[in-house]
């Protein structure tokens, strides 16, 4: 709850105060120009970094791996892009940190480790089916994201039926 208060009340107040101070120091139109310039640069950086992250994700999928870190980086990129489009200097600085590869990967690893801890705690609770048909734990499978197959023998049974009332 405090986080939401900070996000929706304190950050805009800081942004407004900073915009007023910068506007008084360099002029209102130059301040508006800086805000628009940062948004333009941010959108172009977002496009370039997003494409490179997408390419890495496709390479990992083609190699048969799950692109978990790339997916988390995509979330960080989306947050950074939204912050850059939000008028203000504080949000622009945070948004640029989300778009710079070194800091973005650091943030993604931080978030990914948090997600991994949550996933591991659920895996240790037992073999519970997930909502999408995947199981969270099965000793007979090599990979936790492969769906459970009801028939492991490989035999395919084909048939037809007709309902008669």
At 129 the three-state DSSP class reads strand
47-57 residues labelled b (16+ CB within 10 A) or e (exposed): eebbeebeeeb
Dihedrals phi, psi of 22, to nearest 5 degrees: -65, -40
Q: pLDDT by residue for the chain (165 residues), tens digit each?
A: 778 877 888 888 999 999 999 999 999 999 999 999 998 998 898 899 889 999 999 999 898 888 888 888 888 999 999 998 888 999 999 999 998 989 988 888 888 777 665 555 544 444 444 443 334 444 444 555 555 555 566 677 778 878 887
pLDDT for residue 72: 86
The full set of domain ranges for the chain reads 9-123
């Amino acid at each position: 709850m405090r986080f939401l208060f900070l996000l929706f009340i304190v950050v805009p107040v800081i942004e407004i105060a900073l915009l007023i101070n910068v506007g008084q120091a360099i002029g209102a139109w130059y301040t508006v120009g800086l805000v628009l310039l940062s948004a333009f640069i941010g959108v172009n950086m977002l496009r370039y970094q997003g494409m490179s992250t997408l390419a890495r994700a496709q390479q990992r999928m083609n190699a048969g791996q799950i692109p978990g870190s790339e997916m988390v980086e995509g979330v960080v990129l989306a947050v950074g892009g939204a912050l850059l489009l939000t008028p203000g200097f504080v949000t622009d600085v945070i948004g640029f940190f989300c778009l710079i590869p070194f800091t973005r990967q650091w943030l993604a690893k931080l978030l990914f480790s948090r997600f991994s801890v949550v996933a591991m705690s659920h895996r240790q609770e037992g073999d519970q089916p997930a909502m999408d048909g995947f199981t969270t734990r099965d000793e007979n499978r090599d990979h936790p994201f492969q769906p459970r197959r009801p028939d492991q023998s490989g035999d395919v049974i084909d048939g037809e039926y007709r309902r008669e009332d």
